Structure 1
Amino acid sequence: MLPSHPVEGALAYARGQVRLWCRPGFHLDQDRLDERWSAATGEAVEDVLFLSKHAAASGRPCLTVHPIGVPHLHPDEAPPYGGRAGGAPPPSPRLARIWRALLRHANDVRIPEFEVSLEVTHHGPWQQAPAAFLEVGSTADTWGHSGAAEVWADVLLDVLNEELRGEVRQAAPPDVPVLVTLGGGHYAPRANHMASESRALLGHMLANHSLPFVRNDAGEVDGRWSQAVDAAIEASRAAHPQRSVVVSLDRKSFRGWERKALFDHLEARGIEVIDSAAHRALLEGA
């Protein structure tokens, strides 16, 4: 990559349609980086891939990728890790391709101690352009791992090959839907499996902790789960205009009344709920 003029005092590099912005410091609270880049350079931002460190209480070495947002928070809340409460930026349209490229390195000899995984949607910052975090985790002992850095570099060279040459990558067939997953744990086991399918497109993934259900004494279902679902669907659709959105549920992770509320809400919105077999059939028929 060739160096370009500094942006907000930070070094930037350019090659083809790709820009590398080497910003120092914490960035979960750095909202509107897409707009700030455009204001400084005059260039429109199509997608933002954050290369970052991942911290986890487990401490297990892991390379992860995930969308960003805190769609389950009340709009008046102050998000503890950045973002706009109640909102989620569009997920990177390259998210599933990044995951499949990373998955091909699951047994890479350069990272024998590392796992690879998707993570569900979480934390900031807020922006209008699509985004994803590509992370090395999960402690200071692994953040500087050279093999992990090399693997991420190879993944990016794979995924951004055409863009680095200044070319436009051919889009997936128009009948391929965008997958949104609901339920399960932080490391998105359902999405890990379903997005590994060739040609799959992946949107937001919401774990159970981002779907806060409440049921009152009268049996009425409340809570911000529907707010989170709607934000995830709309943001995923914004990342893939003109495509349909489908949802897959980790059914066992929900109580019966929660599942019913989800099915009723999605049916009212005209969103199809599918399992992995139906998803595979959609991809094969596209």
Structure 2
Amino acid sequence: MLPDLLVASKSDEASRSMLDYILEKEAFTQSESDKIMEHGNFILAVFDERHLYLDNIEKFLSDNRVEAKGVIFLSRHSSKADIKSITVHPTGNFSGALLGGKPGTLTLSYPVAMSASLRYLKENFSGDNFEITFEATHHGPLLNMMNYYIEIGTTEKQWEDREALEVVRGAIFDREDRKYETFVGIGGGHYMPKITEYFLKNNINLGHMIPKYALDSITEDMILQAVEKTPGCKGFIMDKKGTKAQARDLLKKISDERELEIVTI
């Protein structure tokens, strides 16, 4: 089985903190390449630049003669409201590309691993007043490998919280990947509240997630991208109140043509 690649960024304070904690707790050793460390079914690479712009991950792996199944980015989470949180999310842009990636382009989501990480976080963290949730698909980098972000937010106090760091470590190394039916989530706010709640109560995996704010200009092509870049996608989990009528019509058209399921919540 191919390993997962963990990516840390020296330009991201939370990423550095997560990296230091993981290296303290997990027995990584140098691989044949001086740019990659390895441990069990994981490899690890550290970059100077922010993850958002690491469009060269595949070339980096090829240059170092290693392969990986998927990529997990260790990152800080930003919130205007300064909410304490631990989140996971897929990558890509539904319209513009203000934070890396390419406009109107999604990357391959990693439903089995990302969903397993969120389950672990929810089941094992008892930290004070942290919100644990999915986020909608957003930002770069642009790559052709399955990937997701795991983030701690939003200040240095949270980035250095040992309990938060431990549960993130566990959500990566001790997660239990389950081959449940996989869906694209659509509708609701950026943190996909109803979809996160439904996910936690049901045996499913989630890939790309399309929030309400992206639906003003959503196209059939973008919805199809979300389906095609969610491996094993069976259909949609739709927050009906959080999904505009135009998008509901597109969903029905696509589902009828592709024989996909729509689960309305």
TM-score norm. by structure 2 comes to 0.81
The one-letter code matched in structure 2 to 1:48 is V
1:137 aligned partner: 153
Map Cα deviations across residues 205-256 of structure 1 (whole Å, 9 max, x no partner): 110122233xxxxxxxxxx43222111100003xx4xxx5211211112343
Map Cα deviations across residues 115-155 of structure 1 (whole Å, 9 max, x no partner): 21111111110111100100000234422322211111122
2:28 aligned partner: 2
Please tell me whether the aligned partners of residues 136 and 192 of structure 2 are also in contact (alpha carbons under 8 angstroms): yes
Q: What is the number of equivalent residue pairs in this alignment? A: 238
Q: How does 1:64-79 map to 2 (within 5 A)?
A: 64-70=87-93, 72-73=94-95, 79=97
Task: For 1:200 and 1:46, locate their aligned partners in 2 and report how far apart those are by CA, in whole Å.
Answer: 21
1:103 aligned partner: 122
Gaps of 5+ in 1: 161-168, 214-223, 277-286
Task: For 1:255 and 1:133, locate their aligned partners in 2 and report how far apart those are by CA, in whole Å.
Answer: 27
Please tell me whether the aligned partners of residues 235 and 262 of structure 2 are also in contact (alpha carbons under 8 angstroms): yes
Matched, 1:235 2:254: no
Please tell me whether the aligned partners of residues 107 and 144 of structure 2 are also in contact (alpha carbons under 8 angstroms): yes
Alpha-carbon deviation of 1:199?
A: 4.0
Q: How does 1:38-187 map to 2 (within 5 A)?
A: 38-40=62-64, 42-70=65-93, 72-73=94-95, 79-92=97-110, 93-106=112-125, 108=126, 111-159=127-175, 172=179, 176-187=180-191
Matched, 1:270 2:264: no
Task: For 2:38 and 2:121, locate their aligned partners in 1 and report how far apart those are by CA, in whole Å.
Answer: 23
4+ aligned runs moved over 6 Å, structure 1:
none
Please tell me whether the aligned partners of residues 28 and 82 of structure 1 are also in contact (alpha carbons under 8 angstroms): yes
Matched, 1:251 2:240: yes
Task: For 1:202 and 1:139, locate their aligned partners in 2 and report how far apart those are by CA, in whole Å.
Answer: 28
Please tell me whether the aligned partners of residues 215 and 243 of structure 2 are also in contact (alpha carbons under 8 angstroms): no
Please tell me whether the aligned partners of residues 215 and 244 of structure 2 are also in contact (alpha carbons under 8 angstroms): no
Alignment counterpart, residue 194 of structure 2, candidates 179, 190, 195: 190
Task: For 1:255 and 1:131, locate their aligned partners in 2 and report how far apart those are by CA, in whole Å.
Answer: 28
Please tell me whether the aligned partners of residues 62 and 137 of structure 1 are also in contact (alpha carbons under 8 angstroms): yes
1:21 aligned partner: 45
Alpha-carbon deviation of 1:105?
A: 2.7
Task: For 2:120 and 2:200, locate their aligned partners in 1 and report how far apart those are by CA, in whole Å.
Answer: 9
User: Which structure has the bigger radius of gyration?
Assistant: 1
Task: For 1:151 and 1:254, locate their aligned partners in 2 and report how far apart those are by CA, in whole Å.
Answer: 33
Task: For 1:127 and 1:261, locate their aligned partners in 2 and report how far apart those are by CA, in whole Å.
Answer: 27
1:218 aligned partner: none
1:37 aligned partner: 61
Q: CA 1:86/1:63 → structure 2, altered by over 3 Å: closer, same or farther?
A: same
CA-atom RMSD in angstroms: 2.2
Gaps of 5+ in 2: 1-26
